[in-house]
Amino acid sequence: MAYAYDDQNIFAKILRGEIPNSTVLETDHTLAFNDIQPQAPVHVLVIPKGAYVNHDHFAAEASDAEIADYTRAIGQVCQMVSVTPGAGDGGYRLISNAGDAGVQEVPHLHVHVLGGRVLGRMLEKAD
Ligand code: 5GP
């Protein structure tokens, strides 16, 4: 499968330093920053520095080093913002939207780390 990456997306601009961000964590292959429109007291976006559209693109084409770094960075962010179960506000949700049905707004892989309050059920029952 060929994945088309649009390097004009807003997270690509953040990675190039063209748009400012509120950084939570930066590692060799990953950047984590606060969402500009938080949906919960904790709302951090974690993105790989590489040009990947979504999770299945990343899983198919990223190096083992990138995947390990990204996975560990997400866990580290959970600890840094004190949402790890048993600590601080206790508990979080990871969401990664992809494509039209997933209602993905920005076409660069990101995981939302949400927490700081009880988040309710995962999905509204629509039909
Ligand atoms: P998606 O709907 O693609 O899963 O989520 C995109 C997220 O990016 C949204 O939660 C939105 O608030 C956030 N976002 C969009 N533009 C910016 C920006 O310029 N800076 C930051 N920090 N977040 C952004």
Instruction: Evaluate: CB of 11 within 6 angstroms of ligand 1.
Output: no
CB 36 near ligand 1, within 6 Å = yes
- Verify whether ligand 1 is closer than 6 Å to residue 60 (CB atom): no
User: Ligand 1, atom 13: nearest CA belongs to which residue?
Assistant: 35
97 Cα nearest atom in ligand 1: 4
Which among 123, 109, 124, 126 has a CA at the least distance from the CA of 15?
Answer: 109
* Residues facing 25 on adjacent strands: 32
Is 110 one of the catalytic residues?
A: yes
Which is the closest atom of ligand 1 to the Cα of 105? 3
- Under the banding of pLDDT at 50, 70 and 90, the label for residue 25 is very high
Is the distance from the beta carbon of residue 9 to the nearest atom of ligand 1 less than 6 Å? Answer: no
- Among 42-51, 65-74, 85-94, which stretch is predicted with the lowest mean pLDDT? 85-94
Pure H helices in 25-81: 55-61, 64-80
Please give the Cα distance from 28 to 10 (Å, whole number).
Answer: 20
pLDDT on residue 88: 60
Cα(95) to centroid(ligand 1), Å: 13
Q: Using DSSP, state whether 57 is helix, strand or coil.
A: helix
Position 127 pLDDT exceeds 90: no
Domains, the chain, in order of start with CATH, read 10-36+49-90+97-109 (3.30.428.10)
Query: Which of 1-10, 44-53, 85-94 ranks highest by mean pLDDT?
Result: 44-53
* Lateral strand order in the sheet of 42-48: 23-26, 30-34, 42-48, 111-115, 92-95
Whether 89 shows a pLDDT value over 70: the answer reads no
Instruction: Give the pLDDT confidence score for residue 27 in this predicted structure.
Output: 98
- Those residues whose C-beta lies under 8 Å from the C-beta of residue 33, and which sit 6 or more positions away, are 14, 21, 22, 23, 24, 44, 45
pLDDT at position 40 is: 97
